[in-house]
Structure 1
Amino acid sequence: MKTQELFNILEQNQGKSLCFEYAPNLMVGTNYHITEVKHIAVESVDCGANADSWNETIIQLWESPSEIEKTNYMSVYKALGILKKVGKMKSYRLDAEVKFEYSNETFHTAQLFVNDYEIQGTNLIFKLAVEKTDCKAKETCGIPEDKLTMEPTNACCSPSSGCC
């Protein structure tokens, strides 16, 4: 999901509570806060020596241990106010992919993609998911598509394969 799409959804649902499902049927606690918004410019080189660049908006969610008994989720209206304040200080790249950074005692810190969202009664729920890593230079590295479903081996790229 792009940052602009996130803002559009939030604008259209300001009267709702903002919820996040970080894994199937597992919700970020009602005691979460938006603790940081990162505007990231990524410049990369893949294993096939291809340069790439893109932008990301990363919104960090943190569960406050002192508010563990809290029963209501943050309102979309409040979250939108926080995000707009950030935008006045540091402009958003509205075409940037948006991710949510989150962890808890049983879930490792991860930057989660927004797979979907849904409205359930008075709740706006963003469904988050971990994106698996991938080789962007499969053709250069000589990795046939049928190899992608096989179990990994201890083999490594040969010096003449085109991989790093």
Structure 2
Amino acid sequence: MKTKYLFEELDKNLTKKLRFILPDGREVQGDLHFTEIKSITINSMDCGSNSHSFNETVIQLWLNERSAKQAEWPGRKAVNILNKVGSKQRFDLESEVYFEYGDSITQTAKYSIESLNQVGEDLEVHLFVKPTECKPRRNMELACC
């Protein structure tokens, strides 16, 4: 999902409670924070010697497992945080956006957004992990390792 689309959907759902759903169906619940927001530029070379350069937005979720508090996450709270960050660093709105999450049970991973679903007063953010891939094969290029 593009960063711009996520931001637009959050703006449309300011009063909806955000719920983060992991690939196995578990919801991230508890004292949850956006602990870091990264605007990353990636420069890479694939196995076919093709250079790539692209940007990503990564929103790191942190769960304070020592707290009994249940943090409320209305869309407005997320928008306020993202606007504050955006006033200090530039977002590439055309970049892919990811959520990074891990806790004592869940191995830390960079999750893509599979879907945003409005369910009653909630906005469910369904997350999944993209598998690795061979870019030349994906792009149907002949050159590969």
Q: Hey, which bits of structure 1, 4+ residues long, moved more than 2 A? A: 69-73, 138-141
Superposed CA RMSD:
1.3
Q: Percent identity over the alignment?
A: 38
The equivalent of 1:131 in structure 2 is: 130
**In 1, Cα distance between the equivalents of 2:15 and 2:31?**
19
Q: TM-score, normalised by structure 1?
A: 0.82
Larger radius of gyration: 1
Code of the residue aligned with 1:100 in structure 2: it is: F
Deviation at 1:4, TM superposition (A): 0.5
Deviation by residue 1:117-156 (Cα, 9 ceiling, x = unmatched):
1011111111000100011123435xxxxxxxxxxxxxxx
Gaps of 5+ in 1: 142-161
Question: Is the 8 Å Cα contact of residues 30 and 64 (structure 2) preserved in structure 1?
Answer: no
Gaps of 5+ in 2: none
The equivalent of 1:118 in structure 2 is: 117
SS at match of 1:137: helix
* Mapping for residues 1-164 of structure 1, pairs under 5 Å: 1-67=1-67, 69-138=68-137, 139-140=141-142, 162-163=144-145
Deviation at 1:41, TM superposition (A): 0.6
**In 1, Cα distance between the equivalents of 2:66 and 2:24?**
26
**In 1, Cα distance between the equivalents of 2:24 and 2:72?**
19
SS at match of 1:60: strand
Question: Is the 8 Å Cα contact of residues 61 and 102 (structure 1) preserved in structure 2?
Answer: yes
Counting matched residue pairs gives 142
